[in-house]
Structure 1
């Protein structure tokens, strides 16, 4: 399988390193034009547009956030290249979701949504079949995990002495307001009740050292609660290690003879 990657940030570097360590073929990196000054660094070709991607790429992996999915997603799918992304929050924009759907249908390709920093999505998807009544997601991070987000204007992140809620609302609004922090809320929404019916609470907590994600769901199946305490990637406190790992897992499932 010939794989291309979008972005060379913390998640992109993690994915590239794991692919190389596992002997997978990472053949091209889709980057901003400024990075073309090192076109073959690490043995990987660099291009700045989808039109310049090699014709034999089997799979592209989006590791560069909402803006990259908006800019490149439809063009990749229209070329008939499957795409894996963790930028699920971008799909809160209904026009983008429709554009990507049309592009995938036109190209005969598939946009695969990696699970990102959360688990239990398979349970939500199964429960949705029988009918879900309520789904709530609570995201709790150390104050530094919310830097660069609207939380900075809503609470004093530097001076927090106790936990402070800085957002309560729908998953659609969370994904729109917090594009770098609310992909988990989007993943929960897509798996369950949708962006508008999934309730979200976001909390800055100086007493925690991990990113804590909690899902509560109830419906015809009964009810369940799920909690995960995830670590960030060492070189970026806003990037989830599990989100990066979920991309590798998604690639491995695509190649496996037997998969879940």
Structure 2
């Protein structure tokens, strides 16, 4: 089955990689991009006529995409998410941390219920979401997550107000709190915490620890689950995106899987 018309919000590291992956595994019958107005001409020159580029959401929706994939950050979810779902178009949200805003999460849910569209949050850089979601139905007791990245990945975040990231010689835990707090303070780094929270105990009961580790060049995600059905823990070591060290390379493949499964004869 054809992938149909895929629209992507944003053309940064994740958006560019997603275009390449879909081209190799589809390709879509049509591909569109929604970007800032200032970038339209530049991106049109880069991608050519094979991809439609616009800065106007109404124009994008009028072209009838089968699904819109958000790859542009929390602000894009807030600005466009509810309108896309209200239009009856499915939305894949890469920036799961945006849903830490309770008002935005409620607006997206209301829009989806009103139109019959679906808002999909892929697992992103984490695994085990299927087991966590199943365990949730049995009753969860605890979900605790630790995200460890090299200091450079935390540059430009509140972490640099807590410690000098440039001079660290050993792992340093600079944040301990809830998934909601982590997602709001570290919007480009803590989407995994938000995804676990959405699948599990919620934003305010999911425990989060964030660590800057000068001894690693990789992004490590570790979490433990206690429930009535099963107890388990997972450790995933993600390679950083070549285009953006704040993002695990596996994130875009998870997003691509969510898109490709829409047209799969057998989806798993």
Q: Aligned partners of 2:261, 2:223: CA distance in 1, in Å?
A: 25
Give the SS at the match of 1:222.
coil
Q: Is 1:155 paired with 2:158? A: no
5 Å matches for 1:1-260? 1-22=4-25, 23-38=27-42, 39=44, 41-42=47-48, 43-53=50-60, 54-260=62-268
Give ranges in structure 2 of 5+ residues lacking alignment: none
Q: Aligned partners of 2:77, 2:30: CA distance in 1, in Å?
A: 19
Q: Aligned partners of 2:162, 2:255: CA distance in 1, in Å?
A: 32
**Larger fraction in strand:** 1
Give ranges in structure 1 of 5+ residues lacking alignment: none
Distance 1:50 1:111, change over 3 A: same
Aligned alpha-carbon RMSD (Å): 1.2
TM-score (structure 2 length as normaliser): 0.94
Equivalent residue pairs, number: 260
Q: Aligned partners of 2:16, 2:116: CA distance in 1, in Å?
A: 29
Q: Aligned partners of 1:245, 1:28: CA distance in 2, in Å?
A: 19
